[in-house]
Every structure is written in structure tokens, then in C-alpha cells.
Amino acid sequence: DIIDVGGESSRPGAEPVSAQDEIRRVVPVIQGLKNHLPDTLISIDTSKALVAAAALEAGADLVNDITAGADTAMLATVASYGAGIVLMHMRGQPRTMQENTAYTNVTAEVHAFLALRAEQAIDAGIPRDLVWIDPGIGFGKDDPANVRLLADLPDLAALGHPIVLGVSRKSMIGRLTGAEVDDRLPGSLAALTPTIGLPRVIVRVHDLRPTLQFLKILAAIEEAHQ
């Protein structure tokens, strides 16, 4: 299990937060989690190297960077702590990302971007198995692009890195089904079906128990096919 801690919203239209404010928000939380749940992995959700360093110093194990290392000091910072990193695809910043959602081939663009960023992370000294990739569902993409990326997850898995997937309660599910945010569990689970058969997938969830039960059944079905 991984607990993801963040001090800045990444929702569409979100305003940026200073590094100092992020640090003030996240460091006490990370320290408290480490004291009470010492065996649980802690992820710091930030795109700022200064925040990442403070969080890793406080006990975080992993950096979840929605900008995939846009801060030029990020990769070296993560490497210096021997930590892992999640590299996500996003166009622009949360405040502007939904202003440009046109792609000629969304799968090819995301694949090429993440392949390049992953190699840069490895070159910076982060071990290959600690470099995880995230297609960024809902980040600078319209609904057809999001659905296409889900359908093409095996192509992304071919890069050989663990995939992080965040689809739980996404606005896309609401638009496709008409469901309000608190009634999107069925759609959230359906969006995980493309992960069947993929070797290493980490999913972000809101509804932990039903999602875990769903994934266990998927795993059992996949094992029966082998």
C-alpha cells in the first residue's frame, strides 16, 4: 500500500502554491504517517524539487511528479535520496491543461514523452525499477483521448516500467455516465479492466475495499487463463 500526500491541488484550473506553503502542509503529515505507519510507503505529490527534498528528508519514499521532472533539479534530487519517481504526462499546468486537448495520436505522443522522461530519470541515477510512469488520465486530455489511452495501456506497459493509473471518480466517468462524483465507483472499476494481464500496475483509489476486491477477482481470472 502507498499513501500519497500532496500540498497543492492538481485539478483543472487549480492555482499554484509556493514551495514554502507546500512544505509547511506536507512535512508534518509525512512525519506523522511515518511514526504511526512505519511500514507503509509514502509518496509525495509535488512538482517542485525543494518540496521533494523536504518530504524525502521527512521520510517519504517516492515522488509523484505530475510534470515528469519539469523542475530541472527534480531528477537529481530524487536520485540523491535513492528514492523512486512517478513520471506523468500532462500538457501545460493544471490551471491551463484543458485548453489544449487535441492530439493526432494520443497514445504515440504519451508513449514517446514517457519513454524519453524515463530514460532521463535513469540517466540521472534513479534505478530503472524505481521509475514509474503515468499516462495522466484527465490531465490535458478530452474524453476520447482518455478512453484511447485506457484501451492502449498494453502499449505503455511495453516500455517496461510499472504503470500508475488514476481513474477513480474522474470527471470523465461523470460525463460518460451522468453519475455524480460520489456515485462513480462502478465506472471507476470498469476503467480498471484494461489492466488485466499487465504485469505491474499501481492504481490510485478513493474506495479502497471494493477496489481491492475487484482487483483480486481480476487477478484470479487472469491466473486461471495461464
Rounded to whole angstroms, the Cα distance separating 51 from 57 reads: 10
Q: Is 48 a catalytic residue?
A: no
- Which residue of the set 170, 184, 200, 216 is catalytic? 170
Cβ neighbors of 177 (< 8 A, separation 6 or more) are: 184, 187
Render 27-46 in DSSP notation, one character per residue: HHHHHHHHHH-TTSEEEEE-
- For residues 107 and 102, what is the distance between their CA atoms, to the nearest angstrom? 12
Burial zone of 137 (CB within 10 Å; 0-12 exposed, 13-18 middle, 19+ buried):
buried
CB 5 within 8 A of CB 43: yes
Q: In this structure, are residues 34 and 59 in contact, taking their beta carbons and an 8 Å threshold?
A: yes
Residue 128 among the catalytic residues? no
From 48, 91, 141, 204, active-site residue:
204
C-alpha to C-alpha distance for 131 and 64, rounded to whole angstroms: 10
- Write out the catalytic residue numbers: 170, 204
